[in-house]
Every structure is written in C-alpha cells, then in structure tokens.
Amino acid sequence: MMKKKQNNSVQKYPIVWKKNDFSIKIFCSIPNIATGILLTAGKNHFIIDPGDGILRDLSKEFGVESLKNISHIFVTHGHHDHLGGVWSLLTYLRVMNKTSSLKIYYPSGCVEIESIYHAFTKVYASNLPYKIELKRISEEKKFSVKNVSVKPFSVVHKEYVANTNKKRIVPALGFNFSFDGKVICYGGDTGYCDSLAKAAKNADLAILEAGHEESDPDEMHMTMEEAQSIGKSAKKYVLVHIPD
Ligand SMILES: [Zn+2]
C-alpha cells in the first residue's frame, strides 16, 4: 500500500499569499481536473492557467466590471487541466460586452490554445466586441505587462502518446512574476529541471507541483522530495498539483 504523503507545505485550496499589494490566489491545482490562479499587483489582475471552473471562481471573486477589465492570461502549457476554462471565460467576456483587448501568453508550440482561439474567433467572427491577442513565447526573455515584470523559463513536461507507453515532450513554461521588489515563481507542470531550480531560488514565493506519485523521478511531474528540495531554496514555497 502506498504511504500517505504528509507535508506541512501542503495546504487546502484556495491557497493565498500576499505581500503588500502583490498577491496570488490559487483557487485550485488538481491533477487531471483543473488549475486556476489569480495574480494581483496593485490594481491589476492577471489570470494564470485558466482551467475548468475559472469563470466560477473569478465570478465569486469579482463583480462583472473587474472581470471585464482583466487584460492578460498566462498559460503554462496546453493540458486540459490548465486551460479547460478558456472557452467559457472568453464567451462570458463577449456576453458581458468587454471592449478592451485581452492578451494570452503561451509557450510556442501550444496548439491547444491556438486551436481554441481560431475556433472561438471563427464562431464569433461578426459578433465579438473585444480583441484577443495571442502572444506566443519562444524566448526566455523578460518582458513587462502593466506593472509586473515577467520572466518565462522552459520546464520539462511530457505526456503519454495515446494507446502507447511512449511519452512525448509538451511545450511548457514556468513564470517568475516580479512586482514591488517581490518575486513569485510558478513552475507549472514539470519534472525536476535546472531552469526551475534557478528560477525558484530566493523567490519570495515558489509554487511547485508535486504531481508524481512514485518515488522514482520522471520527466512529467516532480516527486514530493524533488519539489521540496527546490522549494527550500525559496523564501517560502507551496506544493500544488498533488494527487489525492
Ligand atoms: Zn500537464
């Protein structure tokens, strides 16, 4: 029987971290089901990994006006548990008559978000009050969105090829978000990798997945021990994406 994993860094959702005007709220991060994260810097709100349920969670969080003002979404990779809520969110913003543009940042090669975008803009070609801008990230270069500095970094994530035991690489990113002298590192889904270890080091908060159930490491998810070893180099860390 598998031993039940115990760790003080594992918390119940939502997980909230806040330093002055910089905060992050992880509504959930449940493997194969859904992730949903809200980043707030001053008056600006950003969505990270809008999995299923993101519209419900944001609706509870905000009134319609604040939701309509959301201007940036960050997607770490194309798995359904990280972007399954995109269609309903885009549709809601259309129905509520959003007029300001919406930018979606995602890793180069993430066909899922591009497919959703193409289908959505086709369906609502003559009836879309706001502009959606796809921002494909192909370089690990720092950039700014509103008052936040964003540093993407490549991580190692894989998926099974259907009906086989073979795995293939999934384009996947983590992000370091900086505001007001504080850094939040979010690794997304990843196996242990140097780029994440580097990005998480000295971060004020590192959000690390520990989704791998076995003790032997693989290139899909981190073991609890791997995630903890990276987390300890940050000022604080939380473990997410842990199987029940
Ligand atoms: Zn994944």
How far is the centre of ligand 1, averaged over its atoms, from the C-alpha of 42 (Å)? 30
Please say whether the beta carbons of 173 and 185 come within 8 A: no
**What local confidence, expressed as pLDDT, does residue 4 receive?**
44
**What local confidence, expressed as pLDDT, does residue 75 receive?**
98
How far is the centre of ligand 1, averaged over its atoms, from the C-alpha of 81 (Å)? 7
How far is the centre of ligand 1, averaged over its atoms, from the C-alpha of 147 (Å)? 28
How far is the centre of ligand 1, averaged over its atoms, from the C-alpha of 39 (Å)? 20
Q: Of the candidates 59, 108, 61, 105, which has an alpha carbon nearest to the alpha carbon of residue 83?
A: 105
What does the mean pLDDT of the chain come to? 94
How far is the centre of ligand 1, averaged over its atoms, from the C-alpha of 157 (Å)? 7
Strands in 143-145's sheet, in edge-to-edge order, are: 143-145, 148-154, 173-179, 182-186, 205-209, 237-240
% the chain with pLDDT above 70: 95
- Tens-digit pLDDT profile for residues 11-61: 689 999 999 999 999 999 999 999 999 999 999 999 999 999 999 999 999
Give the pLDDT band of residue 5 (cuts 50, 70, 90).
Answer: very low
**What local confidence, expressed as pLDDT, does residue 148 receive?**
98
- Tens-digit pLDDT profile for residues 69-98: 999 999 999 999 999 999 999 999 999 999
pTM of the entire structure? 0.94
Domains belonging to the chain, first-starting first, are 15-240 (3.60.15.10)
Q: Of the candidates 45, 84, 85, 83, which has an alpha carbon nearest to the alpha carbon of residue 65?
A: 45
How far is the centre of ligand 1, averaged over its atoms, from the C-alpha of 77 (Å)? 7
**What local confidence, expressed as pLDDT, does residue 8 receive?**
45
Per-residue tokens: 52 = 């299923």
How far is the centre of ligand 1, averaged over its atoms, from the C-alpha of 241 (Å)? 10
- Tens-digit pLDDT profile for residues 212-225: 987 777 889 999 99
Residue 64 has pLDDT above 50, yes or no: yes
**What local confidence, expressed as pLDDT, does residue 10 receive?**
54
How far is the centre of ligand 1, averaged over its atoms, from the C-alpha of 28 (Å)? 14
How far is the centre of ligand 1, averaged over its atoms, from the C-alpha of 27 (Å)? 17
How far is the centre of ligand 1, averaged over its atoms, from the C-alpha of 43 (Å)? 30
